[in-house]
Amino acid sequence: MAVSDFVTGYEHIGVPTNDMDATIEFYETLGFKNLFETDNNGKVIFFGLGDIVVETYEVHGDAAGKRGAVDHMALMVTDVDKAYEEIRKTKYPVIEGPCTLPFWANGYYYFLVQGPNCEVVEFGKKL
């Protein structure tokens, strides 16, 4: 099997922010709607527009604030644990998880992998 056997599509892109108010204004100006809001060491908001989802989250001064500053992309998977087993067979390091976050109605189960350019790919599933 391969990790791609468990991927069903795109989940979201993660964008860290030092200024949540400005971020809210920006995405609302573009027509995005607030899909979900919570706190996880700072405010976290998922904005949606059609099939596009952007997760914005406060990082209290640690956001790069320059081009190329998207933090991660997330892919939906059918089975997080099986995708994790397949990733562990590769040379790419798992840098977080698998674990659960208190996002959405019943939580979100995921893990993160770091690529060769320090990009982060998240594999997750809403519970």
Q: Give tens-digit pLDDT for 37-88.
A: 999 889 999 999 999 999 999 988 888 877 778 889 999 999 999 999 999 9
Give how many domains the chain has, as a whole number: 1
Q: Could you tell me the residue range of the domain that residue 11 belongs to?
A: 3-126
We report the CATH number of the domain holding residue 95 as 3.10.180.10
CA 127 – CA 124 distance, rounded (Å): 9
How confident is the model at residue 43, as a pLDDT? 94
CA 122 – CA 63 distance, rounded (Å): 19
Mean pLDDT of the region 91-109: 93
Q: Give tens-digit pLDDT for 1-14.
A: 888 999 999 999 99
pTM: 0.82
Strands ordered across the beta sheet of 52-58: 33-39, 43-49, 52-58, 7-17, 72-77, 120-126, 108-114, 94-101
